[in-house]
């Protein structure tokens, strides 16, 4: 009988968690325009940086291959 009572009263725990989560929500959200701009432009900056690093690695690899070819 207690299992059935626990099963039927388990909704109370669910609703109490939802009520608590609702009370802990942030009241106001403020936006920092400068931080937003930095975040959005950061995508391009990171992409360009990755491309530059890849170019440098390819250049070093090509140089090492030339040295190996000379040795042979």
Predicted TM-score (pTM) of the model is 0.47
* Measured distance CA(3)–CA(69) in Å, rounded: 79
Q: Give whole-number Cα distances, 8 to 1, 2, 16, 18, 32, in Å.
A: 11, 10, 15, 18, 47
* Measured distance CA(33)–CA(50) in Å, rounded: 26
Tell me how far the alpha carbon of residue 58 is from its chain's centroid. Answer: 28
pLDDT digits (tens, 9 = 90+) for 15-70: 888 888 777 777 788 889 999 998 988 998 999 999 999 999 999 999 999 999 99
């Amino acid at each position: 009988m207690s299992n059935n009572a626990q099963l039927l009263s388990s909704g109370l725990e669910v609703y109490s968690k939802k009520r608590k989560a609702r009370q802990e929500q942030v009241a106001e959200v403020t936006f920092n325009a400068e931080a937003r701009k930095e975040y959005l432009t950061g995508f391009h900056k990171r992409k360009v940086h990755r491309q530059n690093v890849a170019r440098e690695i390819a250049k070093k690899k090509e140089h090492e291959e030339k040295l190996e070819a000379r040795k042979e």
